[in-house]
Amino acid sequence: MKKLILFFLLLIPNVALAQEITSKCTITSNKTVYKELTDDDFTSYVSFNKDEEINIICPSKITYLYISYDKNYVPGKITGNKSYSLGENEYLHELVKLEDEDNITIKYDEDYILTDIYVFDEQLPNWVQNWERLSDCDLMLFSTHSDDEQLFFAGLLPTYVDRGKKIEVVYYTNHYNNISRYHELLNGLWTLGIKYYPEISVFPDEYSENLDDALNYLNEAGYTEDDAINFQVDMIRKYKPKVVVGHDEKGEYSHGQHILNTYTLEKAIFKAADENYKTNNDYKAYQINKLYLHLYEEKPIVMNYDIPLDSFAGKTAYEVAKEGYAKHLSQQYTWFTSWLVGDNNEYTKATEISEYSPCNFGLYYSNVGDDINKDDMFENIVDKIIEEKPNKEPVVDIKNIDNKISWQMILGTFLILTSMTGFLIIFIIRSRYTK
């Protein structure tokens, strides 16, 4: 009987969840409490000069501090029982692990602007971004804007995250005039399972409908076509991708910046391999294996984004892409939303997107032969080492759970306890009437 009870106890779900303790802490600067720092809203922020310190006092130990900057990371330091550096990794969303701290001071070397501060105990929820840097990658995506990676390449990134590929996303334009889009960019990538910090160019975004106008806008901003090519060459040489992916040559819906991105990329892949071609950086020449372009009609391949993925708890790549795009809050009112999900969110498969289908690509360049199966960008590319797939354990988004047990856990526990009660009644009856 004891073994039976122990068996059922082991079946009861583990309800210990990661806990955000921000609300239990006192966060002040010069004795002032700024609600904007704890409202979980990257559109609100507080500006400080470098002499202003932030003090955090908590009733329990602080294990992690998660800081969101408004525009740029700033070098600084956290001081408590020990000292911890800030801004070294150049992340807009920065996570710092602390040891045995409950009273800390944050001080920066320059004036700074923060949007949010989060405080955590021992375990982190899955929405907290713990970025890493790559020295090389398997796949490099040249997305033009923040959200193109979720739209015209919808499903591509989660598909190859699930296959254990190292992915670097490079953005051809910046959004300095709308900083919120940077936060959306990072939140969206993290939702897709991207753990490696993206690269973003200095080139501004201006809408145009052809290549000439896009080049004119580039020149008016003080940059040349060669500057754009050099940026892409540096990205390729720095990260040494096996596969590179770019936009439709026609710019999908004829966006000039999309067209320019691919126009220069088609030149950059060859210049990156030319040892005589120099840029301002000292990266070694590198030849990619493949370049795929969206909607390219020659040597076409069709990606399947409607297969359940182990790394995303059985969701399809398309379903994950929709969740990633939902992080781009500023873009939800645009026509892109109905294009991706349907007029009433009725799309359930990527194949339901007919115009500018994110599933369709063509092989623009290859030094490993043509595709035969035409459904995998890594066909004919042999990995030198066996890749480890990401953790396949389903994740639970617990950002909005505050010491609450999910209804699934409650139901599971109720059913188990009911079963245990039934077994106990049967055992007692049998013990009473059986010699």
Domain ranges of the chain: 22-120, 139-366
Tell me the average pLDDT of the chain: 88
Give the pLDDT score at 420.
Answer: 60
Give the pLDDT score at 387.
Answer: 42
Both tokens of residue 119?
A: 């405080």
pLDDT tens by residue, 192-232 = 999 999 999 999 988 999 999 999 999 999 999 999 999 99
Q: How far is CA 134 from the centre of its chain?
A: 14
Q: Which of 259, 134, 130, 150 is nearest to 198 (CA)?
A: 134
For residue 177, with 0-12 CB atoms within 10 Å meaning exposed, 13-18 middle and 19 or more buried, which class applies? exposed
Spatial separation of the C-alpha atoms in residues 140 and 196, rounded to whole Å: 11
- Which parts of 172-224 fold into alpha helices (H)? 180-191, 211-220
Give the pLDDT score at 249.
Answer: 98
H/E element, 77: strand 76-79
Summary count for the chain: helices (H), strands (E): 11, 14
Q: What is the pairing mode between strands 93-108 and 54-69?
A: antiparallel
- Whether 22-120 shares its CATH topology with 139-366 is answered no
Give the pLDDT score at 19.
Answer: 73
pLDDT tens by residue, 226-285 = 999 999 999 999 999 999 999 999 999 999 999 999 999 999 999 999 999 999 999 999
Q: What are phi and psi of 361, to 5 degrees?
A: -135, 170
CATH superfamily of 139-366: LmbE-like (3.40.50.10320)
Give the pLDDT score at 206.
Answer: 87
Which of the 8 DSSP states describes residue 393? S
Give the pLDDT score at 414.
Answer: 54
Q: Specify the residue for token string 């999309």.
A: 258
H/E element, 46: strand 46-48
The residues near 22 (Cβ < 8 Å, ≥ 6 apart) are 38, 117, 118, 119
Helix (H, G, I), strand (E, B) or coil at 411: helix
pLDDT tens by residue, 324-355 = 999 999 999 999 999 999 999 999 999 999 99
Spatial separation of the C-alpha atoms in residues 79 and 291, rounded to whole Å: 48
The residues near 434 (Cβ < 8 Å, ≥ 6 apart) are none
Bridge partners of 96, per DSSP, are 65
Helix (H, G, I), strand (E, B) or coil at 58: strand
CATH class of the domain defined by 22-120? mainly beta
Which of the 8 DSSP states describes residue 391? P
Spatial separation of the C-alpha atoms in residues 433 and 207, rounded to whole Å: 85
Both tokens of residue 181?
A: 């889009």
Residues of the chain with pLDDT under 50: 1-16, 385-408, 410, 433-435
The residues near 211 (Cβ < 8 Å, ≥ 6 apart) are 256, 259, 260, 263
